[in-house]
């Protein structure tokens, strides 16, 4: 029987890895990959790597449960990534990062007032707002440039809402199916629901790019570590700690992204970002 401290460490690990994925994805984007292609490849890698370890049932017990799995694949996979990455076409990255940082607070509100599975104190909300202020300082990193773009910002808010719905749906499936099965379904339906978009978008990537070690390394990191391991870990953490406590660890994302960008991409870190 694992202690709750173990699951808190799992949450920290997952949030840390997901913070590093921004840099990994940027490297692949510069290599010519599209956001949708990156998501499909990472989910396919994760799904294939998961198959040898899965000995359970293929389908859910009921059609309702199977449709719930489809919803998980959409909210935590295809639609979440499409909304977030499409937002970058219309608004600044800083806007996207700050709005996405509202996910823990939105999750708290949704869980408390919609599903009513957990409770949060007024002090908790105050600390959440303080954390968001810190995130803003980290994201701006000394450059206070904030331009509102209704379409881009709404798309980002939509992505945040998708992750909130995903977290609540995971809680509803709690105890019904093994976390590995839920994770497998998320990858499968995430890819299947994104396939129509991929057909319309097209792909100009050549096979030669897959011979580059930096490309292969980042794809494996995103597929095996950030998707396979972290999605499974996150599903377990949501079940053991609850959505409110778990999602607050996502405030680590911009901190890790900032440090990783400095180490890998030689991007600067200002004193204001450190304060944040």
Predicted TM-score of the model (pTM):
0.83
CA distances from 31 to 75, 204, 215, 218, 261 (A): 27, 11, 8, 11, 17
- How many other CB atoms are there within 10 angstroms of residue 193's CB atom? 17
What value does the mean pLDDT of the chain take?
83
Distance CA 234, CA 249 (A): 11
First to last CA, the chain: 37
Q: Buried b vs exposed e over 155-192: b needs ≥16 C-beta within 10 Å? A: bbbbbbbbbbbbbbbbbebeeebebbbbbbbbbbbbbe
DSSP 177: S
- Please check the confidence at residue 5 and state whether its pLDDT lies above 80: yes
68 contacts 172 by C-beta, under 8 angstroms: yes
- Give me the percent of the chain exceeding a pLDDT of 70: 89
pLDDT, tens digit (0-9, with 9 covering 90-100), for 168-184: 888 888 778 888 889 99
- For residues 71-84, give the mean pLDDT: 90
pLDDT of residue 41: 92
CA distances from 147 to 42, 91, 94, 138 (A): 32, 8, 9, 17
pLDDT, tens digit (0-9, with 9 covering 90-100), for 219-254: 999 999 999 999 999 989 988 888 888 888 888 887
The helix (H) or strand (E) run that includes residue 180 is helix 179-201
- Confidence at 66, pLDDT banded by 50, 70, 90: very high
pLDDT of residue 94: 56
pLDDT, tens digit (0-9, with 9 covering 90-100), for 140-170: 655 655 555 677 778 888 888 898 899 888 8
- Please check the confidence at residue 96 and state whether its pLDDT lies above 80: no
Q: Which two tokens stand for residue 101?
A: 């940082």
Distance CA 222, CA 20 (A): 9
pLDDT of residue 118: 65
């Amino acid at each position: 029987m694992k202690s709750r401290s173990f699951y808190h460490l799992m949450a920290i690990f997952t949030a840390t890895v997901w913070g590093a994925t921004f840099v990994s994805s940027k490297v692949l984007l510069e290599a010519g990959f599209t956001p949708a292609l990156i998501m499909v490849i990472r989910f396919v890698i994760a799904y294939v790597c998961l198959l040898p370890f899965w000995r359970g049932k293929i389908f859910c017990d009921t059609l309702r449960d199977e449709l719930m799995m489809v919803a998980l694949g959409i909210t935590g996979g295809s639609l979440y990534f499409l909304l977030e990455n499409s937002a970058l076409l219309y608004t600044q990255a800083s806007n996207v990062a700050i709005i996405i940082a509202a996910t823990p607070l939105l999750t708290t509100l949704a869980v408390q007032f919609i599903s009513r599975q957990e409770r949060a104190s007024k002090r908790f909300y105050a600390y959440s707002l303080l954390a968001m202020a810190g995130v803003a300082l980290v994201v701006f990193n000394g450059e206070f440039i904030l331009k509102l773009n209704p379409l881009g910002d709404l798309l980002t808010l939509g992505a945040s809402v998708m992750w909130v719905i995903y977290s609540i749906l995971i809680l509803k499936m709690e105890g019904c199916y093994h976390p590995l099965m839920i994770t497998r379904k998320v990858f499968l339906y995430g890819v299947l629901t994104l396939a129509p978009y991929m057909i319309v978008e097209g792909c100009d990537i050549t096979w030669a790019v897959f011979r580059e070690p930096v490309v292969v390394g980042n794809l494996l990191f995103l597929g095996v570590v950030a998707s396979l391991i972290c999605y499974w870990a996150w599903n377990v953490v949501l079940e053991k700690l609850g959505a409110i406590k778990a999602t607050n660890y996502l405030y680590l994302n911009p901190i890790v992204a900032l440090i990783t960008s400095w180490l890998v991409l030689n991007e600067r870190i200002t004193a204001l970002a450190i304060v944040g």
